[in-house]
Amino acid sequence: MSRAVVINGECLVKVRFGAHIEHIFDPLGEEIESEGVFYELGLSEDQIRITPRFVHKDIRVDDFGDEVPAEVMAKLAEITITMKLIHYDPSILDVCIAESLGGNAILGTEMTGAGALMGQNVIPGGEGNHFIGLSLMSPVLNKPNFFPTSYLAVRPVEIPLGTERTVVLCNWRAIPYGRPGLDGSEIQSSGTRLWLPVSSDV
Amino acid sequence: MSRVVYVNGETMVYVKGNTASPIANISELGLAESPIRVTLDSRYLDVQVDAWGGEIPIDVQNRLSAINVSMSLVHFDPAVLEACVEESMGASTFGVLARAGNLMGGNAPRFNPLNHYIGLNLASPVGLRPWRFYFAYLVGPPMDWPLGTERSVVTLNWRAVPYTQDPWNGGLGASGYVLFDRTLDT
């Protein structure tokens, strides 16, 4: 029998930035080590939630009446990932916020120009691409989740400050980033990667 | 036959704090007036399935444990007791508060000056089954010290928790974590 109570296990969150992020330092000036191209962001206070939003469009035919479709078009999807970070690296979170702002060089002080593209027509993880690769570990279930192009969005973070431990609420959005082909061909949605059952695409 | 009437024996309480504390070396705290009580506080989470009625679980998840230790000290070292109170307040001086919100473990290893947890040891000269709780502190209410012409019997309530600097532990989480063992601190 393959059915069982499913337990993901301790879900460590790791992030990958574009190649333009070469070094990250903590407030004491010590460089933060990465594991390959990934940095450890942290652990959540409770369960991390993955909520996809599938987009469909009905195709109506008068013969079928005007409320129930005869066919439905699948029009891609996006994913929301929410987490409450409690044991995390604040310096890595700062970079996540800066990149999600379009590559803000100095967090909160120098904004990237309005309208700047997050992907910059660069491959995920490439130099100039500000999307973040978000990886959720799965040590018990061995079914990790990787979102190659994500960013902190809408109400991206909520940071409580006081004498209690800070639990940061993070809202991520993952999209199927598309870019023109190397041969100059148009952007195509077919084959774009949104959500992978691996820990990395490297 | 391995069954016996179990007698722990004269249970001396030893404590050991961080290297900057007055109890940096293993110290005798004292002897209790009545049995010292070790209470396991284990937490579980029921797994409910509608097919099973939704009220009785099909399985239960283990959610780790803490330990509560209560004692009424009648023959004790007041200076050592004060050191325990001081460390349990996360402070470095008896009667002086630490910053509100200060982490007891200080994200530091055992016996580091930033780590205010206390090693709580209970001897077992007859039963030969001593207890060592690695990360303990006085808690709710931590101490009740009656003052008067009668001998003071001080009630203490300890709590030992599975403190760690890294809950991820390389993907193992709490697996293999030693909450208590049978080897006294030295």
ipTM for the whole complex: 0.81
Question: pTM to 2 decimals?
Answer: 0.87
The pLDDT confidence band at residue A108, using thresholds 50, 70 and 90, is low
Q: What are the tens digits of pLDDT across the range B148-173?
A: 999 999 999 999 999 999 999 999 99
- Per-residue model confidence (pLDDT) at position B1: 66
Residue-level length of chain B:
186
- Per-residue model confidence (pLDDT) at position B66: 96
Choose the closest CB to B168 out of A10, A162, A164: A10
pLDDT: which is higher, B112 or A183? B112
Which residue on chain B is closest to A138 by alpha carbon? B171
Are the Cβ atoms of A5 and B173 closer than 8 angstroms? Answer: no
Type of residue at B111? F
The mean pLDDT value of chain B amounts to 94
Percent of chain A residues past pLDDT 90, beyond the cut: 74
Residue A154, chain B, CB below 8 Å: the answer is no
User: Is residue A152 pLDDT above 80, yes or no?
Assistant: yes
Q: What are the tens digits of pLDDT across the range B72-89?
A: 999 999 999 999 999 999
Instruction: Give me the DSSP letters along B144-159.
Output: E---SSSPP-EEEEEE
Are the Cβ atoms of A9 and B173 closer than 8 angstroms? Answer: yes
Structure tokens at B169: 């532990």
- Per-residue model confidence (pLDDT) at position A55: 96
User: Is residue B92 pLDDT above 90, yes or no?
Assistant: no
Question: Are A67 and A162 in contact, with CB atoms under 8 Å apart?
Answer: no
User: Number of A:B CB contacts under 8 A?
Assistant: 30
What is the mean predicted confidence (pLDDT) over A29-45?
A: 94
Which of A10, A43, A92, A135 best tests the B interface by mutation, with the highest count of B CBs <10 A?
Answer: A10
Choose the closest CB to B59 out of A5, A40, A165: A5
Are the Cβ atoms of B171 and A137 closer than 8 angstroms? Answer: yes
